[in-house]
Structure 1
């Protein structure tokens, strides 16, 4: 096996394990909403606000952690993120006040996720994979995050029932430290300047991206992705309990989302290597709205909830490899983690809105109905935005391709 093949394999395996742990833990937070809120007498907005802050901090920090990964390597960034993740989970286990919950769950874990999730991992993958195979490779690594969600949710629910929610959080803190040895596998050198083109400064890279309408269209579409995913991931278990379904149904639905998202992200990567990726994104956002409409329209039973989880799972993170690979095609890979991080910032602003607004409107209206309707409308809007993305490389990349 050649050195390049070993590097590729190491980045893929290390990145997949880090994503599986980081996102598996993150997707389990909805299971802590009810027990923590009940024990401390909080309304749902308190927990939802902390998760919303987590997503906002994650997004705000992502361009900076992405820039550090571009310059100094993803492995070092992941090492710091794993330690912050463990500290945040440990702090969450003792968070007896809303402020402590916001500092641990919101601030620390938000920073940790910016260093252990998609922009950093997929930026590393993008630098070791040719453009033609990039959507597929990113899809495979993204699928690992869903596998972590599928495997972890039943285990976390079992820990909550067996040793309490505080013990479960301490157990997850120990699990977060298991990312440390895999961080070394994601050591990728910064991409060199393109041949026949001048080196690009940070401000030039930002100016180039900000001048392209495609960059803003992708970013606004990703806002919708974040809104829908965090609202559903955080509030769906409580919503189903409110509809008189057992708590295990909500856990099973989220696990099914994770399981079927393995198929969805792989399929998105496979199709993205063959078809117009922006068009695929438009269809994904539109189909999400259709699935939500059917879920609300049909009589609610455990099986209708399971079918919702399966269908939404196929569409869950399939936007991630497509969006990141489009950014790489348009702007190149040298600043991919940073530019992908800026696009992801919009995702996390949407995540803040979806997580917090769900709790806010529920506490004031006693229902999630309005937030479901907002999610449907935003999905249609995102489809229209992505239909206008061209995927045409910037002149700098075109010149390199013609020269090569």
Structure 2
């Protein structure tokens, strides 16, 4: 089950990690502005976030298997539409709405729900770290593959090849089938009660606020850094190597965060990650921009990239239990994706307005400081619930 979950995340996260490589070839051939491409990516992240609680709720109630199959089919369809679109609206429909909904059903919220219900609590953070590390390896593996496909067969055909690859999630979904009792655990709490309880709990709100910052930072960098580097005279190969390094070092960061979460307070881990991101960006902006400085920055950011994912989801499970883990994780991730929407869209919008990415870089620094402080008051203990009287 852990292997299949890791492979699903490897494919789903690996394919999307290289979308920034399509920005220039798509906009140049179609005659679109960078904001057009950025807006589609922003809609993708927002759709992913909005659909996340729905996909998570369905997975909690009916099991992840059906959700994963629907997500795989949507993923393939969205990539095909992305390649065929000749208008900004159609491109947003495929690359934005379809791929966003597909990712909600094939990534962390759904897969972590299965893991949370089937791995012992004392190993849960580690298991989530393993899955996140697999997704990170997919990012490392897929970026050079996608760059090679674009250079070898063109950007459109590259998308069609990736559409076929995304269908491999369907056979992997069979490894994530759960017994009915595990997929739909018995309990007195309804979904509505679980949501009301979570949103009334301050620690859940602090986690959600911190995750907003995570989305803003990583999606802005992932989509716009290739163009930022090219604007400063560096070759596309530097950007490709940088994205691959982020994926490679992310393997280390996510596994380490998951493992440390078994021994250290997770709020300390999260706060440290956000603070170090701000430090890394400040240093990157104040040293000469060379291939070497880009590679060092990419490696450091890689360690910090998705290392927030295992401790954040483990805290949710630790506080509220695993019955509605996919749904609650989906709501936390919605905040992440609202941040992603703003990060990728503002990157394109402010670039078109000012001719520079500098403003968005410094917004990312300020948000990192906020997230570092926001995670400190999180209480990780299980929530105290009143005893439910036995029912006839």
Q: Is the TM-score greater than 0.5?
A: yes
Matching of residue 12 in structure 1 with residue 5 in structure 2: no
2:250 is aligned with 1:257? no
2:27 equivalent to 1:29: no
- SS of residue in 1 equivalent to 2:168: helix
TM-fit CA distance, 1:290: 0.4
| 1:192 alignment partner, one of 185, 190, 198 | 185
* Deviation digits for residues 8-60 of structure 1 (CA, Å, limit 9, x no counterpart): xxx21111111001001111110000000000111110000000000000000
| Residue 396 of structure 1, CA deviation | 3.0
Q: Is the contact made by 2:72 and 2:170 (CA closer than 8 Å) also made in structure 1?
A: yes
* Residue 192 of structure 1: how far off its partner (Å): 2.2
- Partners in 2 of 1:186 and 1:30 — Cα distance? 30
Q: CA deviation at 1:390?
A: 1.2
Q: Is the 8 A contact 1:191 1:333 kept in 2?
A: no
Equivalent residue number for residue 111 of structure 1? 101
The alignment partner of 1:116 has SS state of coil
Q: Is 2:289 aligned against 1:300?
A: yes
User: 2:45 maps to which residue?
Assistant: 55
Is the partner of 2:303 in helix, strand or coil? helix
Q: CA deviation at 1:120?
A: 0.4
| 2:307 alignment partner in structure 1 | 318
Please give the secondary structure, in 2, of the residue aligned with 1:119: helix
Aligned to 2:202: 213
Deviations 1:144-171 (A, max 9, x none): 1111110111011111011100010000
Q: 1:89 aligns with which of 75, 79, 83?
A: 79
In structure 1, the partner of 2:112 is 122
Alignment of 1:219-368 (within 5 A): 219-368=208-357
Residue number in structure 2 paired with 1:7? none
Q: Deviations over 1:355-377 (max 9, x none)?
A: 00000000110000000000000
Which of 374, 381, 384 is the equivalent residue of 2:363?
374
Q: How many residues align?
A: 385
Q: Secondary structure at the match of 2:167?
A: helix
Whole-angstrom distance in 2 between the partners of 1:86 and 1:244: 35
C-alpha distance in structure 1 between counterparts of 2:385 and 2:240, whole Å: 48
Asked if residue 395 in structure 1 is aligned to residue 384 in structure 2, the reply is yes
Deviation at 1:180, TM superposition (A): 0.8
Partners of 1:243 and 1:103 lie apart in 2 by 32
Aligned residues of 1:159 and 1:165 also touching (Cα < 8 A): yes
1:51-102 deviation line (CA, Å, top 9, x unaligned): 0000000000000000000011111100000000000001111111100100
User: In 1, distance between residues paired with 2:13 and 2:70?
Assistant: 16
Distance (whole Å) between structure 2 residues aligned to residue 294 and residue 186 of structure 1: 43
Deviation, structure 1 residue 191: 5.0
Deviation at 1:392, TM superposition (A): 2.1
Give unmatched runs, 5+ long, in structure 1. 1-10
Task: Give the whole-Å Cα distance in 1 for the aligned partners of 2:80 and 2:199.
Answer: 39
Q: Which residue of 2 aligns with 1:140?
A: 130
**Aligned twin of 1:99:** 89
Deviation at 1:131, TM superposition (A): 1.3
On the 8 A contact 2:62/2:184 being kept in 1, the answer is no
Tell me how far apart the structure 2 counterparts of residues 124 and 351 of structure 1 sit (CA, whole Å).
Answer: 25
- Aligned match of 1:204: 193
Question: Alpha-carbon deviations, 1:102-134, whole Å to 9, x = none?
Answer: 000001000000000110011111111111111
Q: Secondary structure at the match of 2:105?
A: helix
Q: TM-score, normalised by structure 2?
A: 0.97
Cα RMSD over matched residues? 1.1
In 2, the alpha carbon distance for the partners of 1:113 and 1:315 equals 21
Counterpart of 2:259 in 1: which secondary structure?
helix
Distance 2:132 2:53 in 1: 19
Give TM-score, length-normalised by structure 1: 0.94
